[in-house]
Amino acid sequence: MSLDASVVVRLGTFELDVELSVEPGEVLAVLGPNGSGKSTLLRALAGLTPIDSGHVIIDGTVLDDPDTDTFVPPERRPIGVVFQDHLLFAHMSALENVAFGLRARGVGRADARSAASGWLDRVGLGDVASMRPRQLSGGQAQRVALARALAVDPALLLLDEPLAALDVSTRQDVRRSLRRHLSTFDGVRLLVTHDPVDAYALADRIAILEHGRIAQTGTIADVTAHPRSRYVAELVGTNLVRGVVTDGVLVTEAGARVVVAAESGPVFAVIRPQAITLSLGVDPNSSARNVWSGIVGDIDLLGDRARVGVDGPLPVVAEITTASLDELGLRPGDAVHAALKATDITTYPA
């Protein structure tokens, strides 16, 4: 089972334009900030929002293609959707919710209920079958929503922020159980989320969606090691600089110069926050090839570490110990010098 999608949707001034393919047995996470078009993408795949151009093909069956006037409405697509906030029907029991899809497809009442009961057992909720959604905990509601989506035996399972509606204390447990249940489903699985932890925990491959475009795709290790956008770099917690290298000097888009050990050409440079040292004056004996001055911005404390923003022509975040922070006596707005060895910069072609 596979998904091949090229989706262009225009909503007012926003345009979503992405190409995606998900291979059999794969879980793809579309990761992006709010407003990046994640929900629009999901609605387009589900058929709730028709695409303006492109195509949506599942297992060789064309579901949406404006060029050939093909449009299969959501109720006739082989899909299951787990919505944000679960959207369980409040006037039905958990069992009736799970049976809904089968009933809608014309399965008899008794058969639908017994199949639904089997699905509730599979997600470990056989004992809450008669409860109404409002009586369920967030984690239980999430599993009922999953069972409801899977009960119709979809070829494509779509999950929209599946864990966002849960509070922090239950999220970890639910994430683990969701991971287990997802692994038993052999169709195409695609989830959209703004939470990198969910993406890492649940997906094999991630696609970064920003401003309606896919900025980067790859395995999680790949994307983490070689971020190609500031959004990803911030998710990973590192500094990303884009520029052009000429004769061992990288000139950023803002005009800052950084000495690097890299071939000439346009590159991304990753600067680990731990590799940057801060000082009040310039140390004449340092071997660091890059020394520049800046102004202290935000300071975040993380245990015995402090992440110090340094604003200037090359804005970066440096990570130092809180002991060093106290010794330097840094406060937002202070002048500071930052130093960095050229060999601590990882570069790769842009």
Partner 1 sequence: MTSLQPGRRTRGRRQPLPAPVFALAMVAIAFFALPFVGLLWRAPWGSMLDVLGQQSVRTALWLSLRTSIAATLLAVVFGVPLAWLLARVPFPGRSAVRALCLLSMVLPPVVGGVALFFSFGRRGLFGQYLDQWFGIRLPFTMWGVVVAQTFVSMPFLVITVEAALRQMDRRYEDAARTLGGSRWYVFRRVTVPAVQPALIAGAVLAWARALGEFGATITFAGNFPGTTQTLPLATYLALETDPDEALVISLLMIAVSFAVLIGLRDRWLGGARAASA
Which of 32, 37, 54, 101 is the binder for partner 1 (CB under 8 A)? 101
**90 contacts partner 1 (rule: CB under 8 A):** yes
Specify the stretch interacting with partner 1 by CB under 8 A; choose among 80-88, 108-116, 170-178, 189-197: 80-88
* Token pair recorded at residue 291: 């020394």
Q: CA 81, CA 162: separation in Å to the nearest integer?
A: 10
Who's near 32: CB < 8 A, 6+ residues apart?
38, 192, 194, 208, 209, 210, 231
Tokens 């990973």 identify what position? 236
DSSP string, 59-110: TTEEEEEGGGTEE--GGGSSEEEE-TT----TTS-HHHHHHHHHHHTT--HH
Q: CA 83, CA 157: separation in Å to the nearest integer?
A: 11
Specify the stretch interacting with partner 1 by CB under 8 A; choose among 70-78, 246-254, 298-306, 314-322: 70-78
Which of 20, 54, 94, 100 is the binder for partner 1 (CB under 8 A)? 100
Residue 120 Cβ vs partner 1, minimum distance, rounded to whole Å: 16
Residue 303 Cβ vs partner 1, minimum distance, rounded to whole Å: 40
Q: CA 44, CA 65: separation in Å to the nearest integer?
A: 11
- Return the SS3 of 41: helix
Q: Which C-beta is closer to partner 1: that of 74 or that of 297?
A: 74
Specify the stretch interacting with partner 1 by CB under 8 A; choose among 17-25, 102-110, 210-218, 336-344: 102-110
DSSP 157: E
Residue 74 Cβ vs partner 1, minimum distance, rounded to whole Å: 4
**105 contacts partner 1 (rule: CB under 8 A):** yes
CB atoms inside a 10 Å sphere around CB 81: 21
**12 contacts partner 1 (rule: CB under 8 A):** no
Specify the stretch interacting with partner 1 by CB under 8 A; choose among 25-33, 100-108, 164-172, 333-341: 100-108
- Return the SS3 of 216: strand
Q: Which C-beta is closer to partner 1: that of 43 or that of 175?
A: 43
Q: Which C-beta is closer to partner 1: that of 116 or that of 232?
A: 116
Specify the stretch interacting with partner 1 by CB under 8 A; choose among 98-106, 197-205, 225-233, 273-281: 98-106
Q: What's phi and psi for 265, nearest 5 deg? A: 130, 175
**138 contacts partner 1 (rule: CB under 8 A):** no
- Return the SS3 of 32: coil
Residue whose C-alpha is closest to residue 209's, from 40, 13, 340: 40
| β partners of residue 267 | 243, 349
Q: Which C-beta is closer to partner 1: that of 88 or that of 340?
A: 88
**48 contacts partner 1 (rule: CB under 8 A):** yes
Residue 100 Cβ vs partner 1, minimum distance, rounded to whole Å: 5
Which of 64, 83, 216, 340 is the binder for partner 1 (CB under 8 A)? 83
- Return the SS3 of 267: strand
Residue 150 Cβ vs partner 1, minimum distance, rounded to whole Å: 11
Which of 24, 61, 104, 183 is the binder for partner 1 (CB under 8 A)? 104
**165 contacts partner 1 (rule: CB under 8 A):** no
**89 contacts partner 1 (rule: CB under 8 A):** yes
Q: CA 134, CA 338: separation in Å to the nearest integer?
A: 55
CB atoms inside a 10 Å sphere around CB 10: 14
**76 contacts partner 1 (rule: CB under 8 A):** yes
Specify the stretch interacting with partner 1 by CB under 8 A; choose among 41-49, 208-216, 284-292, 333-341: 41-49
Question: What's the length of the chain?
Answer: 350
Specify the DSSP element, H or E, that contains 328. Answer: helix 322-328
Interface residues toward partner 1, by CB under 8 A: 43, 46-48, 73-77, 79-81, 83, 85, 87, 89-91, 100-101, 103-105, 134, 148-149, 152
